[in-house]
Chain A
Amino acid sequence: MRGLPTAAVLLAVFTGSLALAQGDGRRSGYRDMSPALQKMQDDDTANPAMLFVQAGETLWNEKAGTAGKSCADCHNDATVSMKGVAARYPAVAAETGKPVDLEGRINLCRTNRQQAPALPAESDDLLALSAYIALQSRGELIAPPNDVQLAALRTKGAEIYKQRQGQLNLSCANCHDDNPEKKLAGATIPQGHPTGYPIYRLEWQALGSLKRRLRNCVVGMRAEAWPYEATEYLALESYLMERARGMVMDAPGVRP
């Protein structure tokens, strides 16, 4: 029995080194942060995103809507049922047959199963629930599902990613494919792998979704950001998750 914990530690060290260097040149944004910020993310009592995780755990067990059901009533223990789930989204929702991201999936459960109003985009409750669910995928490999609809969405996402836009006439690829690890003003440009979402971004002083991050970049290009419900985000999210396939999830992340 003594050997078991050692094996677990070895495995942790192994997955840890996987996160550090992917071997194929892909780097999580975690790698481009200062050691101080990495420590902040690694310590669950210093990572401010864990405050939202705590709130998310409460929401998970709280009954909502006219159906009077909580998430736990169907999904039981999130540490078991939600393991690896965030690493697979966006995915096709069974009841609508359409692709949704994790936030969309939470809201589908709310409207269909709990008979509760959908949570607004970037609301504290939606972020808290997604952070709690994403935490269950920490250390899991990003594994987007195979699906025709998702493949089409990824192709669309790849097009948007390479499309120059805005007054600065930049594409996502101009920074994140052509110039990663270089500086944009004082900040290091990451490769743009969505391994840690939702992230606690110090600049925001708040937790935010991948959509908020994408909007931020689009505004930075001086282009007009799509509304939150736009399929462009879903396409980009699907493409980025496919691009990060096999990378280790480190959610909920801290980013500068």
Chain B
Amino acid sequence: MANVLVNAPKTAKKGQVVEIKALIMHVMETGYRPGTNGRIIPRNIIQDFSATWNGREIFRMKMSPAIAANPFVSFSAVANESGTIAFRWSGDEGFLAEHQVAITVT
């Protein structure tokens, strides 16, 4: 189970711009570093991060080996309707993490 920390407001006014922050534990191994045995450590990164609001995509990001371990992503969205914000990280070695938060829009 991946270790995730998400910071999004629990409530918002309709039309308000809200800031959403997502932090996940991941080694983000670049695939360029030699290990102690001199061989290259295989690449192990998160390749894709996306967020959906009630199923509609609001943010997507392609990640590269240049991104540091435990990537932290912050973005904003306009609050239009109450519901669920769902986050999805996928990457090398079959990595998949999902997380959901609820938001009430008034």
Interface residues, chain A, with chain B CB atoms under 8 Å away: 43-46, 48, 50-52, 54-55, 202, 205-206
Q: Does B6 make an interface contact (CB < 8 A)?
A: yes
Task: Say whether B25 contacts A205, CB under 8 Å.
Answer: no
- Docked complex Cα distance between A205 and B71 (Å): 10
6 A/B residue pairs, CB under 8 Å, sorted by A: A51-B5, A51-B23, A51-B24, A55-B25, A205-B69, A205-B70
- Docked complex Cα distance between A44 and B3 (Å): 14
Q: Does B95 make an interface contact (CB < 8 A)?
A: no
B contacts with A, residue count (CB < 8 A): 14
Report if A46-B72 is in contact (Cβ < 8 Å); known contacts: A51-B3, A51-B5, A55-B3: yes
Task: Say whether B70 contacts A48, CB under 8 Å.
Answer: yes
Q: How far is the CB of B10 from chain A (nearest CB, A)?
A: 13
- Docked complex Cα distance between A51 and B27 (Å): 12
Task: Say whether A50 contacts B5, CB under 8 Å.
Answer: yes
Q: Does B76 make an interface contact (CB < 8 A)?
A: no
Name the contact of B70 in the complex, choosing from A43, A44, A45, A51 (C-beta under 8 A): A51
For B6, the chain A residues whose CB sits under 8 A away are: 45
Name the contact of B21 in the complex, choosing from A46, A48, A54 (C-beta under 8 A): A46
- Docked complex Cα distance between A50 and B21 (Å): 14
For A51, the chain B residues whose CB sits under 8 A away are: 3, 5, 23-25, 70
Q: How far is the CB of B19 from chain A (nearest CB, A)?
A: 11
Task: Say whether B68 contacts A54, CB under 8 Å.
Answer: no
- Docked complex Cα distance between A54 and B21 (Å): 17
For A54, the chain B residues whose CB sits under 8 A away are: 3, 5
- Docked complex Cα distance between A52 and B26 (Å): 11
Report if A202-B68 is in contact (Cβ < 8 Å); known contacts: A48-B23, A51-B25: yes
For B74, the chain A residues whose CB sits under 8 A away are: 46
Q: Does B7 make an interface contact (CB < 8 A)?
A: yes
Q: How far is the CB of B100 from chain A (nearest CB, A)?
A: 16
- Docked complex Cα distance between A54 and B3 (Å): 8
Task: Say whether A46 contacts B23, CB under 8 Å.
Answer: yes
Q: What mask results when residues 13 to 52 of chain B are scored 1 for a CB within 8 Å of chain A, else 0? A: 0000000010111001000000000000000000000000
For A55, the chain B residues whose CB sits under 8 A away are: 3, 25
Q: How far is the CB of A121 from chain B (nearest CB, A)?
A: 16
For A50, the chain B residues whose CB sits under 8 A away are: 5, 23
